[in-house]
Amino acid sequence: MKTKPVIALLLLLFLALNAVSHAQMMLEVDQTNLTVNPDSGFAIVHNQTIAQTFTVGLDGKLAQIDLQAWKTPGTTGSGVTLRLLTTGADGFPDTSLIPLYETVIPLSRIADFGGHLPYEPPIVSVDLLPAGLDVVSGDVLAVSLFRVADANRPWVQWGGKSGDTYVDGYGYSSATGLSPWTRFNNSDTGFRTHVLVPEPSSIVLAFMSVLGLLAFGRRRK
């Protein structure tokens, strides 16, 4: 048995698999509905939940979500609970299952705003990599914000804008944080999602490794 060709073949196989598994990743903006001048803010009052569904457009790992949110000066108490949810057959956020991810955003990370709605609303960025969620184009997910707070000011608000500003999802509210949900009438919240995807150069390297493996195999026949 000729061992050198076999060793060479195994080496090429190892290099190809290594190139695929260690492909460099890059952060890409996927879905976005940030607004420059929101005309509304959805108050996250006592036990109320505000949610937004969105449709994934890139294959990769869901890495980050940016929310246009602020708080009224003097807001104290608990932070805001963010939950990443699946959606049901009706497209509504599904609270019957365990959230895909849950974390608390401290009030210290949410900017104060006490006047009219800002022209450039502050953004709160939340790292979703701990969820380890692989997504593919067409997945429909929901992000929700919940807080135990008084029903009156001061409160936390999630910015939004009238009109169907995001065509691949809807805004929702729930009085208890559970179903039933009420779909907003022609309004969406301000958000932006990011997905980790392989860098094109890494894909080319992996592809060339596989081509080299195939060419070597053909020469051996």
Question: Where residue 12 falls among pLDDT bands split at 50, 70, 90?
Answer: low
Angstrom distance (rounded) from CA 55 to CA 188: 13
The answer, yes or no, to whether residue 115 has pLDDT greater than 70, is no
Residues 124 and 161 both lie in one domain: yes
Residue span of the structural domain in which 30 resides: 25-198
Chain-centroid distance of CA 147 in Å reads: 20
Residues 37 and 120 both lie in one domain: yes
If you write DSSP's letter for every residue of 107-128 in order, what string do you get?
Answer: GGGS-B--SSPPSS--EEEEE-
pLDDT of residue 84: 98
Residues 78 and 166 both lie in one domain: yes
Residues 119 and 32 both lie in one domain: yes
φ and ψ at 105, to 5 degrees? -95, 115
Considering the entire predicted model, what is its pTM? 0.80
Angstrom distance (rounded) from CA 197 to CA 186: 32
CB 190, CB 35: distance < 8 Å: yes
Residues 127 and 185 both lie in one domain: yes
pLDDT of residue 202: 45
Residues 18 and 108 both lie in one domain: no
Angstrom distance (rounded) from CA 55 to CA 51: 14
What CATH number corresponds to the domain at position 127?
A: 2.60.120
Beta-bridge partners for 160: 40, 189
The token pair at 112 is 């104060």
Residues 183 and 211 both lie in one domain: no
Listed range (2-6, 26-30, 125-129, 213-217) with the worst mean pLDDT:
213-217
Amino acid at 58: L
pLDDT in tens, 130-152: 999 999 999 999 999 998 876 66
The answer, yes or no, to whether residue 13 has pLDDT greater than 60, is no
Average pLDDT across the chain, whole number: 83
pLDDT of residue 206: 47
Residues 75 and 120 both lie in one domain: yes
Chain-centroid distance of CA 123 in Å reads: 14
Angstrom distance (rounded) from CA 114 to CA 83: 26
Report DSSP state, residue 34.
-
Chain-centroid distance of CA 30 in Å reads: 9
Which residues make Cβ contacts (< 8 Å) with residue 35, sequence separation at least 6?
A: 68, 121, 159, 160, 161, 165, 190
Residues 106 and 15 both lie in one domain: no
Residues 162 and 113 both lie in one domain: yes
Residues 192 and 203 both lie in one domain: no
- The domain total for the chain is 2
Residues 59 and 156 both lie in one domain: yes
